[in-house]
Amino acid sequence: MLGLLFECPTEHWRKQVGALVSEIQDPALRTAAEQAQNEAGEGDYHSILGPGGPAPAREVSYHDTIQLGYLVSELTSYYQAFSYFPTTAEALDHVSVEAGFLGYLRLKQAFALANGEAERAGVVADAAKGFIADHLSNVAQPLAASLAQSGVAYMAATGQALLARVGPPGTLPVLQSLHAEAGDVDSTFDCGL
């Protein structure tokens, strides 16, 4: 859901968020998804998270010295190693893609655990921790701080939910445990452009 809430709010997006709201166990994330149903708009999205906006959605924006080519190469390696092929127009370092990848890893971990493959689940869990430390933790704290000032409640709540799960740079990731049970102002700018 975190990855989805960081995507541009199209009509298809609204249907996806609406279909998943009742499945969300975390009260803060559920509130963010409910707020998004009423509040999300493409104009706000682009003006806040888009290029030049006060809350850049791309990881490269939060590095002083990293080269974009190196970053994309590293992300591509992570994604290919776990057969993650996102279908989005966003760049590979966009927070929606990175958060989506983390959710994908958690799904793979849960599947391995459900099939009694503890070693495989451990490999995926280690990859998730490494991905958080190497990528999402660089974005989470400054993005959450910027989104808190955005005036858009669902974006502020989504930023805080990401920060709560990954922590700031240099800390151990705050990972939720997996259970075997089920559950883990509009403008003319179009998100398809």
User: Residues for the chain: how many in total?
Assistant: 193
Which residues, other chains included, contact 159 with Cβ-Cβ below 8 Å and sequence gap of 6+? 55, 140, 143, 144, 145, 146, 147, 148
Domain ranges of the chain: 2-166
| DSSP code string of 102-133 | HHHHHHHHHHHHHTT-HHHHHHHHHHHHHHII
- pLDDT at residue 181 greater than cutoff 90: no
Token pair of 155 as six digits: 């974006």
The pLDDT tens digits of the residues spanning 139-179 come to: 999 999 999 999 999 999 999 999 999 987 766 444 433 33
pLDDT mean over 104-128: 96
pLDDT band of residue 56 (cuts 50, 70, 90) is very high
Name the residue with higher pLDDT: 183 or 64. 64
- Taking CB atoms within 8 Å and a gap of at least 24, the contacts of 19-24 are 23/183
Reported in sequence order, the residue ranges of 45-108 that DSSP labels E, i.e. its strands, are none
Which of 1.20.1070, 3.30.700, 1.10.3480, 3.40.50 would CATH assign to domain 2-166? 1.10.3480
State the pLDDT at residue 171.
Answer: 61
* 167 vs 31, residue with greater confidence: 31
Higher pLDDT, 141 or 51: 141
Strands (E), 53-185: none
Average pLDDT over all residues of the chain: 87
Instruction: At 74, list the tokens.
Output: 């590293």
Task: Give φ, ψ of 94 to 5 degrees.
Answer: -70, 140
Q: Which of 84-88, 127-131, 179-183 has the lowest mean pLDDT?
A: 179-183
**Average pLDDT of the segment spanning 78-97:** 94
